[in-house]
Amino acid sequence: MKYVVLVLGLCATLFFSGVTSAYGQQGDSSDNVIKYRQYVMSSISSHFKALKYLTTGRITQPQQWLPHAEALLDLTNMIESSFPEDSDFGDTDAKEIIWENKGDFNQKALKLIKASETMVKLIEAQKLDEARKQFNTIAKSCKSCHKKYREL
Ligand code: HEC
């Protein structure tokens, strides 16, 4: 009997730790969640701006297109989990309607992920003219989310 209780306890622990990690920030303070996601967004922005300098020819560093595009792709994958429920209280520019429209918000994040993925592929294939155009698609994707979900 004791053994059964132990096993059940272990299952429950595994289950709940699984749930926690799935949502990422449960238990983290709202202030830290907000600060952290702003750092994630700023990192996205730095790679985005670096790519702008490269794709517009202001900087000639052909080897550096790909690492910035890959970093952008990795970071855009963090957007969805950076906006957990109840993280709209504090020093944030995130609008409350994000959590009323989380499906649509996540779709916009996914669009950016896909656009970044295409960017990586185009650079890998050395299709640089297309990559230059793709940068504009990425820029539109940022704007489309900010317009609806970020205080300006
Ligand atoms: C799915 C929606 C979404 C997408 C896509 C998105 N953002 Fe954001 N972004 C937000 C929200 C919401 C905030 C406000 C976060 C906060 O203050 O808590 C934000 C904040 C920012 C900030 C301010 C960070 C700070 O320090 O306060 C920058 C810079 C930024 N985004 C750049 C970008 C760039 C560049 C892209 C595209 C490559 C992008 N974002 C794509 C939703 C998005």
- Note the pLDDT of residue 39: 98
Contact 74, 118 (CB under 8 A): no
Query: For 75-97, what is the mean pLDDT?
Result: 95
Answer yes or no: is pLDDT of 23 > 60.
no
Closest CA to 65 of 119, 23, 117: 119
- Note the pLDDT of residue 3: 53
Closest CA to 148 of 105, 84, 99: 105
Question: Which amino acid residue places its CA nearest to atom 27 of ligand 1?
Answer: 38
Average pLDDT, rounded, for the chain: 88
Task: Find the 7 Cα to ligand 1 centroid distance in Å.
Answer: 44
Task: Find the 64 Cα to ligand 1 centroid distance in Å.
Answer: 23
- Note the pLDDT of residue 95: 96
